[in-house]
């Protein structure tokens, strides 16, 4: 007679930890990107800013807004696709 198999746990703690870590990292990352975008916008609109400063801040604003939009679209795709 073979001994009974150990029951499987109800919660997969490893997967739960991965989900928690991913959500925290991505959540903080989006907030940081938004903060950089707002800071670049304030520097862009500053009176007396040179053309080089304005151009650099415009590029940074565009890149961060594109990254934020991409993360939102990716999140919606993950939700809808599943």
With a CB cutoff of 8 Å and minimum separation 6, the contacts of 30 are 68, 71
Q: How far is CA 60 from CA 2, 5, 15, 37, 75, in A?
A: 65, 57, 35, 7, 23
Query: From CA 79, how far away is CA 11, in angstroms rounded?
Result: 22
pTM: 0.75
List the domain boundaries for the chain.
Answer: 28-81
Is the pLDDT at 18 greater than 80? The verdict is yes
Is the pLDDT at 82 greater than 90? The verdict is no
With a CB cutoff of 8 Å and minimum separation 6, the contacts of 54 are 44
pLDDT, tens only, 27-70: 999 999 999 999 999 999 999 989 999 999 999 999 999 999 99
């Amino acid at each position: 007679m073979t001994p009974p198999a150990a029951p499987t746990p109800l919660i997969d703690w490893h997967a739960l930890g991965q989900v928690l870590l991913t959500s925290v990292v991505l959540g903080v990352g989006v907030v940081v990107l938004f903060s950089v975008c707002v800071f670049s916008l304030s520097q862009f609109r500053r009176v007396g800013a040179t053309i080089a400063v304005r151009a650099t801040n415009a590029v940074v604003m565009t890149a961060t807004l594109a990254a934020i939009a991409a993360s939102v679209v990716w999140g919606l795709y993950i939700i809808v696709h599943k």
